[in-house]
Structure 1
Amino acid sequence: MTDDHVAFSAVRVFDAVKALAFIGDLSMGQPTGHSLRTAWLAARLADASRADSVTNAAVRETSLLRWSGCTANAAGFADVFGDDIAIRIAMVEDRPGWAERLNALGGAGAVLAPLAQIHCEVSGEVARMLGLADATQSALRRIFETFDGHGLPTQHAHETVPQAVLIVALAGDIETFSRIYGIERMFELIARRADARYPAHLVDTAARHATSWLAELEQASTADFDAALTTPDMRLDTTAELIADVIDLKLPWMTGFSRAVAATAAQCCARLTADRSAHARVYRAGLIHGIGRASVPNQIWNMSERLPESAWERVRLAPYWTSRAGKQAGALGEAAELASYAYERSDGSGYFRGTRDPSLTLEANVLAASVMFVALRSDRPWRAARSAAEAAQHLRDEASRGRLNVNVVNALLSDGTSTVRTTAGHTVQSSRLTAREIDVLRVISRGASNKEAARELTLSPSTVRTHVENVFRKLECTTRAAATLKASALGLL
């Protein structure tokens, strides 16, 4: 990552957290604002429970980030259940039949434990990268544990489960069940989970206050949410690259895509205007243009044949959800709005607005061309990556048909046709990984199995396995998703 990119991507931690909360809500099939509402209720519950200041901060931060590992295990949920979003809706909302389906597949221990491990490790790592306190990191690493010891992935119980986890779990149930089933039914459902999912004394506290809290919540403004939920650590600064990396975890074949789009767009924009604020806007927009992708199940993204119309309808709405994210993400709002133009075309054939030139700004045209170019240079389930020359010719053809801006395409292709890649400023040596370990990591980060990596790198499966084990040890993680996230931050992918 260049110094310019660092400056372009600077953002307040709270705004990054809100963007990640929005992505998590989409991944879980919940209404946007679900995590914010949960955090607001959790803060009230923590205050009413007389939690100490450390727990209070952890409750707020954990509530907002509890779904931040959802993109990381989306592929795993899709492999097991087909529709990664539909099964999460059923689980969170306690829909009839989902537990029976889980038991038919082997039960929570066999099916959900490894998926929970991925989620917990990644969400804990997200908190660490954001500079949040150990209490928040610990809570996120145990976010699916329960008071009775039947949680996942390690079945901690009672005092070994962070209090923040229990408070957030109850607040999440209050928000979800009251919204779907009504307040009376919500009280029945949380009572059933007393001394199981969370301790009875928390349920008793909620029983005394939840009705008034929910009434207050309906009147809360954006300013009220910000005032109630911003912790001291979330007032600090971070960079938006983490958001891009979390977005790309949803589909292994997207690893590094958003960073590459951002860097390509910023470089193209710099050839067209000296306005550094424009360079910054397109860079940020490139990083977060895929936010809405979380709303579409992996089984649709992974289709190798032509998409049916029903699937296309969901894909067309992805940039709409990116636009909606801007309403929640504070300082990232301008970037999210620009990002939602990534799939518009000059002739009006794009989506979701169908906007025509000259309504498209220079920055929107730059982003659209950059997304197309980087995508063409990348492998996809339905085709292999195009060569640089093929991708360049495709962009020229699109410009000649009036779908892309000619001047933008010429600027993008004026200095060669390589996709711009970025690093986070770390040297390879700083990761302590060998060159061969990095080779293996790059292949498995794109979703390859050990056997597939062995074939691609002309190694034995046992050698690949040894390299993977070394990568995990050196990066201090146990899952491929966490290794990918860390490696992306180190600029290795």
Structure 2
Amino acid sequence: MHTDHTVTVEEAVQVLAMVGDLSMGQPTDQSIRSAALAERLALQDGAAAGTCAHVRLVTLLRWSGCTANASGFTDLLGDDVAGRDAMLTQTLPPGTKMSFTSVAPLARIHCEVSGAIAEAMGLPVEVEVGLRRVWEHFDGGGIPERLTDADIPRLVYYVNLASDLEILTRAHGLEEALRMIAARADRKYPGDLVRLQATHAAQWLEAVEAPPCPTALPVLGERVSLTIVADMIELKLPWLLGYSRRVADLAERAAALAGLSPSQQQCLGRAALMHGIGRAAVPNAVWQRSGKLTTADWEKVRLVPYWTARAGVQIPSLRAEATLASHVYERLDGSGYHRDLEGDTLTLPQRILAAASAYAALCMPRPWRAACDAGEAGRLLAAGVAAGRFCGSAVNAVVTAADGKGLDVAEPAAQRKRLLSERETSVLRRLSLGESNKEVARELQISPSTVRTHVESIFRKLECSTRTAATLKGLTLGLI
């Protein structure tokens, strides 16, 4: 199928900003407010209009690599969402170990992935460089490269000062926020910019809080596939990679079989690529739990479609897709979430999306179970129909559409070979699942040293230095 999944770059940036805010435990408009503050600071400092546009984009995308290192922050802090919120608000419990050695590798992943996202969307090189250096500090004490002022674009300081002002004021009040920022003058940021922001901070904060907060981006008429949003979300959990793409393909095929219009098919596919937005707000520890979820866990999970629906409020041009996407976990018997709707209120597109997502999930492995084959997945959905949870006609369309086919969204093999060899593609596919070199070697029946050679070649060809960035590029290029 050749359904149009593209959106404007502006729309993609706004979705990615929201996903980033959720991943970092922030309000969903935190990046929007910070971008408005950063632009004011840049203007006050005499920056050109073009630089101000770059500042806004870097601020909105500065969290876009945070899903890629969520597992690392889970290991470091226990809760990747609440832990990173505590980092930003400077409220980590006393004794929390946050050494350069432990954090720098995670920052490197973050910066490389966010830079790769900017590159994939065709954003200006100034934006890409800003994202790759957004955690560096004025005095050379930042991460991951410990660059000094001469190698740090001034826009990085606009972004960090504005972001810290917004977050710390919310957490501690304006007076304390300004004191905390001033304590890092000529360390994290240049002292002259700290003093400049302090002079106008109260006025600027009042302006960006008064509705409506400015959200206009520079005119970005180019278009980019929503798959970049799905891929960014799914970097949070290696076993999710490619899931939303599969749901989109399957839902569109099922919709065609069910006689839905081309516009409904397109909306279904786009909704499928967006339906995981709210998943970013749930800590990895919940998703990885092998036993029964606690009541508190379930309350977090139940909010996933709510946050997805909020994307439609924040980005009105994608309201139809976000609203449809937020019905993905509703069930005919009222046992779904978050609205607890029942059969009479659920439309056929909503029923198809629910069945397609369940089928695709069953056919992929999870930490707590192996993947089902097509026959078993069909039987489990049929049991759901008998129990009154799924719509029979929707399940029939999904199972017929699947038929053991139609879920491979990679580019043709001839195109893959032009960049990676078949063996390199196999190694990259195993790496994307989070496997170590030894595990890849065992699965592919080759030596660990051969795996290392292939990994080095993959990094060189994809121009990456981390496995997560290679995974994102592999997905973007259709290699895996």
- Aligned residue identity for 1:172: S
Shift in Å, 1:82: 1.8
C-alpha distance in 1 between matches for 2:211 and 2:122: 28
* Aligned residue number for residue 45 of structure 1: 41
Equivalent position to 2:468, from 481, 484, 487 = 481
* Aligned residue number for residue 284 of structure 1: 270
C-alpha distance in 1 between matches for 2:192 and 2:437: 48
- Aligned residue identity for 1:34: Q
C-alpha distance in 1 between matches for 2:260 and 2:372: 31
C-alpha distance in 2 between matches for 1:427 and 1:74: 34
Asked if structure 2 preserves the Cα contact closer than 8 Å seen for 1:54 and 1:135, the reply is: no
Does 1:84 pair with 2:80?
yes
C-alpha distance in 2 between matches for 1:145 and 1:343: 41
* Aligned residue number for residue 286 of structure 2: 300
Aligned with 1:403: secondary structure? coil
Q: Deviations over 1:39-82 (max 9, x none)?
A: 01001111101112342121010000000001011011112222
C-alpha distance in 1 between matches for 2:82 and 2:138: 27
C-alpha distance in 1 between matches for 2:315 and 2:475: 23
Shift in Å, 1:316: 1.3
After TM superposition, the structure 1 = structure 2 runs for residues 335-354 of structure 1, keeping only pairs within 5 Å, are 335-354=321-340
Aligned with 1:491: secondary structure? coil
Asked if structure 1 preserves the Cα contact closer than 8 Å seen for 2:83 and 2:92, the reply is: no
* Aligned residue number for residue 111 of structure 2: 120
C-alpha distance in 1 between matches for 2:10 and 2:132: 20
Shift in Å, 1:424: 5.6
* Aligned residue number for residue 129 of structure 2: 138
C-alpha distance in 2 between matches for 1:262 and 1:293: 17
Shift in Å, 1:255: 0.8
C-alpha distance in 1 between matches for 2:136 and 2:379: 53
Asked if structure 2 preserves the Cα contact closer than 8 Å seen for 1:292 and 1:319, the reply is: yes
After TM superposition, the structure 1 = structure 2 runs for residues 201-280 of structure 1, keeping only pairs within 5 Å, are 201-221=192-212, 224-226=214-216, 230-232=217-219, 234-280=220-266
Equivalent position to 2:22, from 22, 26, 29 = 26
C-alpha distance in 1 between matches for 2:379 and 2:387: 12
After TM superposition, the structure 1 = structure 2 runs for residues 428-439 of structure 1, keeping only pairs within 5 Å, are 428-429=415-416, 431-439=418-426
**TM-score, normalised with respect to structure 2:** 0.97
* Aligned residue number for residue 96 of structure 2: 101
Equivalent position to 1:173, from 139, 164, 174 = 164
Equivalent position to 1:74, from 45, 67, 70 = 70
- CA distance 1:80–1:207, change in 2 (3 Å): closer
- CA distance 1:184–1:425, change in 2 (3 Å): farther
- Aligned residue identity for 1:270: A
- Aligned residue identity for 2:248: A
Asked if structure 2 preserves the Cα contact closer than 8 Å seen for 1:424 and 1:489, the reply is: no
Shift in Å, 1:274: 4.2
Equivalent position to 1:461, from 440, 444, 448 = 448
Aligned with 1:92: secondary structure? helix
Shift in Å, 1:164: 1.2
Asked if structure 2 preserves the Cα contact closer than 8 Å seen for 1:262 and 1:286, the reply is: yes
Shift in Å, 1:333: 2.1
Shift in Å, 1:219: 1.4
Equivalent position to 2:10, from 14, 24, 46 = 14
Equivalent position to 2:400, from 414, 436, 442 = 414
Does 1:187 pair with 2:187?
no
* Aligned residue number for residue 377 of structure 2: 391
Shift in Å, 1:431: 4.9
Question: Across the two proteins, how many residue pairs are aligned to each other?
Answer: 479
- CA distance 1:51–1:431, change in 2 (3 Å): farther
C-alpha distance in 2 between matches for 1:390 and 1:406: 16
Shift in Å, 1:422: 1.5
- CA distance 1:189–1:367, change in 2 (3 Å): same
- Aligned Cα root-mean-square deviation (Å): 1.5
C-alpha distance in 2 between matches for 1:426 and 1:129: 21
* Aligned residue number for residue 370 of structure 1: 356
Equivalent position to 2:143, from 152, 168, 181 = 152
- CA distance 1:146–1:225, change in 2 (3 Å): same
- Aligned residue identity for 1:339: A
C-alpha distance in 1 between matches for 2:298 and 2:194: 43
C-alpha distance in 2 between matches for 1:329 and 1:49: 30
* Aligned residue number for residue 400 of structure 1: 386
Does 1:315 pair with 2:301?
yes
Aligned with 1:18: secondary structure? helix
- Aligned residue identity for 2:15: A
Aligned with 1:235: secondary structure? coil
Aligned with 1:238: secondary structure? strand
C-alpha distance in 1 between matches for 2:416 and 2:364: 27
**TM-score, normalised with respect to structure 1:** 0.94
C-alpha distance in 1 between matches for 2:138 and 2:378: 57
Shift in Å, 1:429: 3.9
C-alpha distance in 1 between matches for 2:417 and 2:454: 17
C-alpha distance in 2 between matches for 1:175 and 1:364: 38
Aligned with 1:136: secondary structure? helix
Q: Deviations over 1:216-262 (max 9, x none)?
A: 1121316x322xxx113x33222211001001100000011111111
Aligned with 1:358: secondary structure? helix
Asked if structure 2 preserves the Cα contact closer than 8 Å seen for 1:374 and 1:419, the reply is: no
Aligned with 2:410: secondary structure? coil
Shift in Å, 1:458: 1.2
Asked if structure 2 preserves the Cα contact closer than 8 Å seen for 1:74 and 1:84, the reply is: yes
Aligned with 1:448: secondary structure? coil
C-alpha distance in 1 between matches for 2:461 and 2:337: 43
The 10-residue stretch of structure 1 (412-421 or 442-451) with the greater mean CA deviation from structure 2 = 412-421
